[in-house]
Structure 1
């Protein structure tokens, strides 16, 4: 009787694969990567999986949407070798990253609110007046230019930098985000998005999508946490 129960609890690679919508090779790859515990072998060398393997695979697949494939792999590897604290640290780091992304999003939204629309009739300005308006040194504006955050043109006769209304908008946005503690490398993608969108207003849909992605990731992390908790020994 006991032997029959044990046999019924064993699964072939194809059974485990079909139950999770995967290929048999994917299951083998996950075992080789340490995502699944090592499978036992029959006397003929065939792999046999147990409900524990199915639980591990379910946990991994639940972790991927929230943590990404790489981190989910590291988490499962840690759990399978008994390094529980390391696994929990990896989970915590992913949550901290999402929290940091939320803070960045709030900072961007605050910067855009403070910035407001840049009047088209403001016209061109030069580095000195713009630096005074922002309360920074001209050297700071030149540093932003080298980083690609502002792109003033040069006056053909004098060679002076000339900032258009769009350039002023970019400089104001950079200034607001720098005040929030963000690095130039972190600001560059947003400025590129502003230029691509043709201004601030079209970014509203981008910001909504950003909110939706963060919410979806947080929900996925909850599902992953539940599956991982069920798998913990």
Structure 2
């Protein structure tokens, strides 16, 4: 990533861009966004950069995979504006989000382990256009009011019959109701069930969900490692900033 630079060396936008596969316009955009500190100008108005700018660019690009563009940009802007504590707060929020995602994944896997896939996929008595609340509640052995409560919690999302306004549960709704029923009988709370239902919907069923969970594990692990790499580059940039300030202001 880039070449070794000596203190005081002056760089053109192309020098910064080339080592990272960027365009010179991207480098200028990063400076305008506050990701890089302001560049010096030659008498003819051309930008010149230094090893400090190279360090800022490395830090930003290292922060991107773990924190995303918005947070990485805000972190670099705060650092360059002399507000590192605010930058650290933003980083802490990203770590907290990663931890929350890990807990959600753990909750989904825990709930999934309590399921009987055969029961969830049992066929329901077909009704043209879908299943109404009464027959579905009867099949599950619960009251219609319970299904309405689950709907308010986002566990089921029935449509409405355009003529009567009655709730109509399609095949996916029946699957979600059966999931919720099993997990409630297993002692799971509605707020614990909701993440699993959301993941099942996103994956398109229980079988695709298993592959999705493996992919989720991989993405969380990659994000965690990327955060470590970003932290190392940011620390190097902070140290370089301190050295520059000591040289300039004693």
Give the TM-score band, short-chain normalised: 0.7 to 0.9
Cα distance change on mapping 1:123 and 1:76 into 2, 3 Å = same
**For the Cα contact (< 8 Å) 1:65–1:217, is it kept in 2?**
yes
Q: Give secondary structure in 2 for the equivalent of 1:202.
A: helix
Unaligned runs of 5+ in 1: none
In structure 1, what is the equivalent of residue 114 of structure 2?
114
- 1: CA distance between counterparts of 2:34 and 2:166? 61
Q: Give secondary structure in 1 for the equivalent of 2:37.
A: coil
Cα distance, 1:190 vs. partner?
A: 2.0
Name the count of aligned residue pairs.
Answer: 217
In structure 1, what is the equivalent of residue 55 of structure 2?
55
**For the Cα contact (< 8 Å) 1:127–1:161, is it kept in 2?**
no
Does residue 192 of the first structure (1) align with residue 201 of the second (2)? yes
Unaligned runs of 5+ in 2: 1-5, 126-134, 243-250
Cα distance, 1:149 vs. partner?
A: 2.2
Q: Give secondary structure in 2 for the equivalent of 1:87.
A: helix
**For the Cα contact (< 8 Å) 1:16–1:27, is it kept in 2?**
yes
**For the Cα contact (< 8 Å) 2:60–2:76, is it kept in 1?**
yes
**For the Cα contact (< 8 Å) 2:30–2:36, is it kept in 1?**
yes
Q: Deviations over 1:31-62 (max 9, x none)?
A: 00000000011111111100000000000000
TM-score, length-normalised on structure 2?
0.74
**For the Cα contact (< 8 Å) 1:153–1:161, is it kept in 2?**
yes
Cα distance change on mapping 1:152 and 1:78 into 2, 3 Å = closer
- 2: CA distance between counterparts of 1:10 and 1:128? 77
In structure 2, what is the equivalent of residue 66 of structure 1?
66
**For the Cα contact (< 8 Å) 1:36–1:56, is it kept in 2?**
yes
Does residue 230 of the first structure (1) align with residue 239 of the second (2)? no
Cα distance change on mapping 1:166 and 1:44 into 2, 3 Å = closer
Q: Deviations over 1:79-132 (max 9, x none)?
A: 001111100011110011011001001111111111121335574453256363
After TM superposition, the structure 1 = structure 2 runs for residues 154-165 of structure 1, keeping only pairs within 5 Å, are: none
Cα distance, 1:172 vs. partner?
A: 4.2
Cα distance, 1:203 vs. partner?
A: 1.4
Cα distance, 1:227 vs. partner?
A: 0.3
Cα distance change on mapping 1:58 and 1:121 into 2, 3 Å = closer
In structure 1, what is the equivalent of residue 39 of structure 2?
39
**For the Cα contact (< 8 Å) 1:65–1:221, is it kept in 2?**
yes
Cα distance, 1:166 vs. partner?
A: 6.0
Superposition RMSD in Å: 3.2
Does residue 217 of the first structure (1) align with residue 238 of the second (2)? no
